[in-house]
Amino acid sequence: MQSMVKDHKPDYFLIVIILAILSIGTLMVYSASSIWALYKFDDSFYFLKRQLLFAGVGVVAMFLVSNIPYFLWIKYRKWIFILCFLLLIAVLIPGIGMVRGGARSWIGVGAFSIQPAEFIKLASIMFLSGYLVNLQDKITEFKKGFLPPLFFTILIFLFIMLQPDLGTGMVFLLTCFLLIFVAGAKIIHFSFLAGFGFIGFLLLIISAPYRMNRITAFLDPWQDPLGTGFQIIQSLYAIGPGGLFGVGFGNSLQKYFYLPEPHNDFIFAIIAEELGFIGAAFVILLFFLFIWRGILTAVYAPDLFARLLAIGIVSMIMIQVMINISVVIGLIPVTGITLPFLSYGGSSLTLTLCSVGILINISKYKQ
């Protein structure tokens, strides 16, 4: 791999798209969080300053990672995965893992903390991509080719669910399944899996009452408008008045303590309210352009590992975007995952930018 020809020129269009989405996200985090920040911390710029710090660190990390030859990741992928897996286990230990929002998903001290589930997504994509390269001669076989990566995926998914974090778990699961399919697994094997997956999904919902409440709130949010249906109702109340051109940047009404923490999972609702259909459609267009350039990077990648790694990164972000926006507009139940590049966050934003740094590096190599 090291002897391959390198173009040295990254996909500048891809970089511009990423920075454009990130810039919009930073502005919208300020607009969506200013009232809450002023009330809680007596500083309307509290979340903006932290987001600028996260974004700055993330962009620097993105450009640093973009200069690391992608084929080095296949060499160290096992150690990276082991380290991230140990963090995932550590977060489950009382006294080490921090509980927020009913889930033990964080490790750290006070406000400075990381979410190991975010790290394990990227580490698993690296590990699985390398493993699937070595499995190419058996990938069409059910027992020797399909089951090993399937068991790996389900094992990590179960550890994520112990926190519990269904949103991150679903993104991880769908990303790995798509990666296995692109690597050459037969579609009939996935159809066999579908029945067991449906039963497992039902068991996950039944096992936790709050998940069942989210399903019923999705089907009829007005059944409990001040309880389980409150968030989705307020989200739709934000989107509706936005109209074609929006109420104007900074003029959202829903951020005045109606929509809970609007700078996080439901930031797209504030975008639709303030920037209207035109602004929301422009953000979706930017994500489509990102996915398009990411897929082109995978198509023209010089080897199978690079193709699978690129597809895995693009799929992870694409699935997360689709789930988040679907939740905000009421197409699926609330899952609790952020919108990449746009939502307020630390480890999620930084890891996403590191991921696209790998994608940018792959774009430097031409087949």
**Is the Cβ–Cβ distance between 313 and 355 less than 8 Å?**
yes
Give me the pLDDT at residue 233, please.
84
Give me the pLDDT at residue 198, please.
72
Which residue is associated with the tokens 């497992």? 200
User: Has residue 132 got a pLDDT over 90?
Assistant: yes
DSSP structural state of residue 229 = T
Tell me the mean pLDDT in the region 100-115: 70
Burial class (CB in 10 A: 0-12, 13-18, 19+), 113: middle
Q: If pLDDT is split at 50, 70 and 90, which confidence band does 219 have? A: low
CA distances from 294 to 69, 159, 291, 313 (A): 17, 29, 5, 8
Reported as a single tens digit per residue, the pLDDT across 141-178 is 888 888 899 999 999 999 998 887 888 888 999 999 99
Cα–Cα distance for residue pair 325/234, rounded to 1 Å: 15
User: Has residue 61 got a pLDDT over 90?
Assistant: yes
**Is the Cβ–Cβ distance between 133 and 308 less than 8 Å?**
yes
Give me the pLDDT at residue 210, please.
64
Give me the pLDDT at residue 142, please.
82
Pull the structure tokens for residue 205: 């919902």
Residue 99, classed as helix, strand or coil, is strand
Percent of the chain scoring above 70 in pLDDT: 90
Pull the structure tokens for residue 26: 């930073």
Give me the pLDDT at residue 1, please.
45
Between 234 and 98, the higher pLDDT residue: 234
Give me the pLDDT at residue 122, please.
93
Helices (H), the chain: 12-41, 46-65, 71-90, 116-134, 147-161, 166-182, 187-207, 209-219, 230-242, 267-299, 304-328, 347-363
Between 217 and 186, the higher pLDDT residue: 186
User: Has residue 2 got a pLDDT over 60?
Assistant: no
**Is the Cβ–Cβ distance between 328 and 268 less than 8 Å?**
yes
User: Has residue 222 got a pLDDT over 80?
Assistant: no
User: Has residue 72 got a pLDDT over 70?
Assistant: yes
Between 277 and 163, the higher pLDDT residue: 277
Q: If pLDDT is split at 50, 70 and 90, which confidence band does 126 have? A: very high
Pull the structure tokens for residue 182: 């692109």
Report for 235-239, 295-299, 331-335: range of highest mean pLDDT: 295-299
**Residue 104's beta-bridge partner residues?**
99
Tell me the mean pLDDT in the region 60-73: 94
Q: If pLDDT is split at 50, 70 and 90, which confidence band does 101 have? A: low
Give me the pLDDT at residue 250, please.
87
DSSP string, 6-36: B-----HHHHHHHHHHHHHHHHHHHHHHHHH
Residue 365, classed as helix, strand or coil, is strand
Cα–Cα distance for residue pair 224/288, rounded to 1 Å: 35
Q: If pLDDT is split at 50, 70 and 90, which confidence band does 120 have? A: very high
Which residue is associated with the tokens 């926190």? 163
Cα–Cα distance for residue pair 59/22, rounded to 1 Å: 9
Pull the structure tokens for residue 168: 């991150």
Residue 307, classed as helix, strand or coil, is helix
Give me the pLDDT at residue 94, please.
79
Specify the range with the lowest mean pLDDT, choosing from 58-72, 108-122, 278-292.
Answer: 108-122
Supply the mean pLDDT for the chain. 86
Give me the pLDDT at residue 188, please.
84
Tell me the mean pLDDT in the region 28-44: 90
**Residue 186's beta-bridge partner residues?**
none
Contacts with 361 (C-beta within 8 Å, 6 or more apart), sequence order = 10, 65, 66, 67, 68, 69, 70
User: Has residue 267 got a pLDDT over 90?
Assistant: yes
CA distances from 306 to 132, 314, 357 (A): 12, 12, 13
Other beta carbons less than 10 A from residue 350's beta carbon: 22
